Homo-oligomer: A and B are copies of this chain.
C-alpha cells in the first residue's frame, strides 16, 4: 500500500542538539517517512510544531538542499531577509551553500504541520544565532570546543 499510514510511524521529539540549545525544539514532533516507507534517495519528515516550538535552530547547510511545504496551521519563516508567514500550501526552498540561516517558528496558539524534504548532510552546518556549528560530524562551539 503506497499510501502513507502516519499512525503506524513513530513520532518523536528527540534531538541531537546539546542540552543548552535543545529547548527550542522540544515541541517539534517528527515522523521520518523515508525509512518507514522504503525511500532512500531522499528523506521526508512529517513535522508537527506545537505552539512556541521551532523546526530547528536557525541554520544553513553547506551541502544539503532543503524544501518545506506547509500542510496546516501557520508558521513564521525566519531568515536573514526577514519574517514571512506560511500557511497551508505555502512552500519554501533552501538551496545548499546559501548562507541564509532559516527556520520555521510556530508563533500561533495551534499546532502547525509541515513536510521537510532533504538528504543526509555530509558537510558542515552553520547556526548564526547561537554559539554552535556542525563541523566534521559533531556539534562544536565556534572556538572548536565540544559540548
Report A's interface with B, CB cutoff 8 A. Answer: 1-4, 33-34, 37-42, 44, 46, 64-65, 67, 69, 71-72, 77, 79, 81, 84, 86, 88-96, 98, 100, 102, 113, 115, 117-119
A42 and B3 contact, Cβ closer than 8 Å, known pairs A37-B93, A37-B95, A71-B69? no
**Chain B residues within 8 Å of A91, by CB:** 3-4, 33, 44, 46, 115
B4 touches A93 (CB 8 A): yes
List, sorted by A's number, 23 A–B pairs whose CB atoms are closer than 8 Å: A1-B81, A1-B84, A2-B77, A2-B84, A2-B93, A2-B100, A3-B90, A4-B93, A33-B67, A37-B67, A38-B65, A39-B67, A39-B93, A39-B95, A41-B65, A42-B117, A44-B93, A44-B117, A46-B91, A69-B71, A69-B115, A72-B89, A89-B113
